[in-house]
Structure formats: structure tokens, C-alpha cells
Amino acid sequence: MAQQEDVFKKLVAHCKEYGFVFPSSEIYDGLGAVYDYGQNGVELKNNIKKYWWDAMVKLNDNVVGLDSAIFMHPTIWKASGHVDAFNDPLIDNKDSKKRYRADVLIEEQMAKFDDKIEKEINKAKKKFGDEFDEAKFRETNPNVLREQAKKDALHARFSKALNDNNLEELRQIIIDEEIVCPISGTKNWTEVRQFNLMFSTEMGSTADGAMKIYLRPETAQGIFVNFLNVQKTGRMKIPFGIAQIGKAFRNEIVARQFIFRMREFEQMEMQFFVRPGEEMKWFDYWKSFRLKWHKALGMGDENYQYHDHDKLAHYANAATDIEFRMPFGFKEVEGIHSRTDFDLSSHAKYSGKKIEYFDPELNKSYTPYVIETSIGVDRMFLSILAGAYKEEALEGGDTRVVLRLPAVLAPVKLAVLPLIKKDGLPEKAREIMNTMKLEFNCQYDEKDSIGKRYRRQDAIGTPFCVTVDHQTLEDNTVTVRYRDTMQQERINIDALHAMISKQVTGAELFKKLLE
């Protein structure tokens, strides 16, 4: 675990050093849980958004896009339930004066049981080698069974407390489990209180009677309130979806782990409107489609898992997270929720407008049910970087830091490098660059040895380095050096575009989604 934390610290430092992520307002000592994306970060972020948008909107002919405003009528947040129920249960340690989310403290306690089980399994794996049968070991080993039973009991108690909204019981669990504050090391806890996560501001001058408005905590509501606009103007037939990418804001109290939990972040959300009664079929469909989308990136299928929710949000009748194995354990990257007709019905009630769909096949009107897929751009960004960051030992005792980013997401697709700065090589390299940059994000670099230049590109995850040498001037070939294998290959300049295009455009990945 300590080793993993170490890797995570190095990743955070790497993000800064190579222009991926900077703390916001850094020259003023930063602003808690707010970050800026640098020259490479913004490219990676844009590529993530494009991969999502194309997979959702371009690939599904019944999904269309939207870009709604951040500021919305305040009643929207009353109707959505956020004013009354968008709360986190908080607890303070009286000695350290640090504030924690009570549910997170308990989840971390449950994860400790998993760690213990994992340790037992790893020990046995080493001892028994190829003979080892993990499933049987889990079913029979007394230590594993004991830890699993403790976890299950805690899990059942925790779920009940959450579902009953029982804050006293949450506190009692923390006391009974002897959870200590990581800073003070004491069990001196306050009561658990609810805290609303929405930021508010004022619109209009006070003289006119300013209106209190909220910065949206999710992009979803902008979709619901535009349901009729899009359905009617696009002549959309159910089932259909509306997708949107945009900023969301939450006054997170426990904002830790870099860009994992931020106060200003970006979401990619899609609401899929279906006939009542068909929601579970579509819930399963989108659950599977979304996992395929993640896995198509080739970061390792074993690094993803589903996690069903213990406590359903006020609007949902089913919910699953897609989790990724971060350096600090499996964590939620995306949520898939069956939101029933809660939002549309509630907006109909609060606005006084009829929000229904006339289904020509059934010859009747109804309020559609909704399946939502919701993923944080920043959290996806972190999961991709965490999976891609590698420190590798090379032959001869050397090491390299490489970002094994999926080529489709890499900020720079190819670097063009003249072997030396004379003999017409820079001019030839520029010529190649000028053709390639019409389609790909390229970098030109002529400084330092070729080895150093390769390392710089490895560190930002550039999949291809194209080196121009004297032979290039004679036979129109270049050396392509591949980031992951570090193998080199001589190829004709005329073949370069097709080779790179095949790897860096989404088409190959999208084929996997449609299989």
C-alpha cells in the first residue's frame, strides 16, 4: 500500500512537471480541490471528451447532443431534490479539528477487511504456486472466512444506516469499529451532521431583489428541462438519449486525492428516455456498453469492476458504478442509474407544464423513464494516467518513465525529430511535420541527443517518434520508434500517415463497441 501511495505521489508530481495538471491559483498558494489543466493535460482531456462524444452521439443514431447553461432557474434544484437531499454526512474529530465524511470513514474500514483477505490470498499463492485454487481458498480458509464475515456484517449495518438516514447509527458504527482520526489518532468524534454540497451565488443587483441561484452540481438537470425542446425539434422517438459535457460544482468537504474529488469538475452525462417498464432492459444495455467503452482502451480488463450501490439516490431504482483500480484502490469513475420518471414528473409538477411523450405505437402519452450514464472527465483523466504511468528498468541499468496512454487519447500523436541540426535534416523534418499536423497533434524537437528526446516523448505518452536522418534524403524513409516496445522500424514517408491514422483515430475502438 505504501508503495502504491509512493507511485501516486510521483504521478501527481509528474502531472505538474510535464504540463498535465497544475494547482489552481498556484502563485497565491492554490485553492483547495481546484485544478488547472496544462498544455498536455488539455489535449488529453479534449481527447477523452471526443472519445466519449463520438461513442455516445456519433455511434448511436438515437442519441443527440446538448449544451445547456450552468446557471438555471433555482426551482429546478428544488424539483430535482438537491436543495433538500444533496447532502453528505459529516463528522469532526475534536482533537485534530479535521472534518470527514462519515460514510467514507466506514467504507475505508470495510476496505481494510479486503486488504487482509488479499494478503492471505497472496501468501497462499506464493506457497502453492500453480496448484493454487483461489475460489476454493476463499470458500474454505478460516482467516479469509472470518474477515469476510466481519466485512459482511459491517456492510449490512452500514447499508441499513444509510438507507434509514440514521446519522446516530453512522456515528455509533464509527465508535464500535474503533475508527481513529488519521491525524490525531484519537476516537474523539462529534455528532454526524448533514451538509448540503451546492454552491450558491446571486443573480441581479440587490436593489432589484437579487435571486439566489446555484452553480449546477450535475449537468443532468439541464437535459431534463430541455427534454421537450429536443424531443419536439429533433422529432425524436422513444427510446432516445440526450448527451452533454459540461462543468459541475460541488462544495466537497473532504476533497482529497488530487483530481479525484474536486470542487469544480466536468461531467459527461447522457439521459436515455425509455418506455415505463422497459428501464431494466436499458439499464443492462448501457451498463454493458459503458464497460465496453472503458475496456476498449486496452488498460487491462482486470482493472475494472462493477459496484452496485448500497444506498440508492433519491431518484433511482437501480444504480451501479464502474470502478477502476486506482493506486488507492478500486474507485468509482462512472455511475449508471435508473432514474425512473422522478425528474420529468417532478419538473412537470414544479413548472406546471405537461412533460410527456405521445407514443404512436402504443397510441398513448406517458412520462418516460430514464437511464443515466454519468462519468467525470477529470476522474477518467486520473484513471487513465494512473493506469498508464510506468517506471521501467531498461537494459544497462537505465530507467525510463513512460505514459503508456492509449494512442487515441495521447496528447501528442507523433514527434518529428531530425537526427542532427544540419545537412538539410531540419528542413525535411519540418516538411513531414507540416503534412502530419493537418491531422495529428505533432511536436517538432531538435534539441539534445536522440535518446533524451525519446525520453521526453515517453514522459508525455507520445506513441510514435519519427526520426529523419541522412538516409531519409536519399530514399524517402524515416525511422519510426514505438513508445511501448521501443522497437524501431524503417518505413516510407508515404506510408506514415496511414499507419498513424489507424492507431490514433477512434474507428478501431468503436468497432469493438459495436461487436
Q: Which residues of the shown chain bind ligand GAP in the complex (CB under 6 A)?
A: 218, 220, 250, 252, 261-262, 265, 267, 269, 332-335, 372, 374-376, 378-379
* Residue 380 or 432 with smaller CB distance to ligand GAP: 380
* H, E, C per residue of 458-503: HHHCCCEEEEECHHHHHHCEEEEEECCCCCEEEEEHHHHHHHHHHH
Residue whose C-alpha is closest to residue 441's, from 58, 60, 40: 40
* Residue 161 or 220 with smaller CB distance to ligand GAP: 220
The residue nearest ligand GAP at its CB is: 376
Q: Which residues contact 370 (CB under 8 A, 6 or more apart)?
A: 224, 271, 272, 273, 274, 279, 338, 339, 340, 341, 343, 344
* Residue 319 or 466 with smaller CB distance to ligand GAP: 319
SS3 category, 219: coil
| Least spacing, CB of residue 19 vs ligand GAP, in Å | 21
* Residue 375 or 419 with smaller CB distance to ligand GAP: 375
| Least spacing, CB of residue 260 vs ligand GAP, in Å | 6
| Least spacing, CB of residue 58 vs ligand GAP, in Å | 22
| Least spacing, CB of residue 209 vs ligand GAP, in Å | 31
SS3 category, 337: strand
| Least spacing, CB of residue 33 vs ligand GAP, in Å | 8
**Nearest-angstrom CA–CA distance, 287 and 273:** 15
Q: How far is CA 151 from CA 48, 108, 113, 135, in A?
A: 36, 11, 6, 18
Residue whose C-alpha is closest to residue 246's, from 52, 384, 506, 33: 52
* Residue 379 or 404 with smaller CB distance to ligand GAP: 379
| Least spacing, CB of residue 375 vs ligand GAP, in Å | 5
DSSP H helices in 142-212: 142-163, 167-176
Residue type, 114: D
Residue type, 244: Q
| Least spacing, CB of residue 235 vs ligand GAP, in Å | 26
Q: Are 159 and 56 in contact (CB under 8 A)?
A: no
Residue whose C-alpha is closest to residue 389's, from 400, 377, 378: 400
Which DSSP letter does residue 335 get? Answer: E
**Nearest-angstrom CA–CA distance, 339 and 78:** 17
Residue 347 grid cell? 419538473
Angle at 77 between CA 76 and CA 79, to 5 degrees: 65
Q: Are 22 and 16 in contact (CB under 8 A)?
A: yes
| Least spacing, CB of residue 405 vs ligand GAP, in Å | 19
**Nearest-angstrom CA–CA distance, 428 and 247:** 43
| Least spacing, CB of residue 255 vs ligand GAP, in Å | 7
* Residue 267 or 367 with smaller CB distance to ligand GAP: 267
| Least spacing, CB of residue 283 vs ligand GAP, in Å | 14
* Residue 309 or 437 with smaller CB distance to ligand GAP: 309
**Nearest-angstrom CA–CA distance, 230 and 236:** 7
**Nearest-angstrom CA–CA distance, 103 and 123:** 31
| Least spacing, CB of residue 174 vs ligand GAP, in Å | 23
| Least spacing, CB of residue 203 vs ligand GAP, in Å | 23
* Residue 376 or 418 with smaller CB distance to ligand GAP: 376
- Helix and strand counts by DSSP (H, E) for the chain: 18, 23
SS3 category, 130: helix
**Nearest-angstrom CA–CA distance, 458 and 192:** 47
* Residue 27 or 69 with smaller CB distance to ligand GAP: 69
Q: If residue 37 lies in a helix (H) or strand (E), which one and from where to where?
A: strand 35-37
* Residue 261 or 287 with smaller CB distance to ligand GAP: 261
**Nearest-angstrom CA–CA distance, 216 and 102:** 24
Q: Which residues contact 152 (CB under 8 A, 6 or more apart)?
A: none
* Residue 121 or 312 with smaller CB distance to ligand GAP: 312
* Residue 52 or 113 with smaller CB distance to ligand GAP: 52
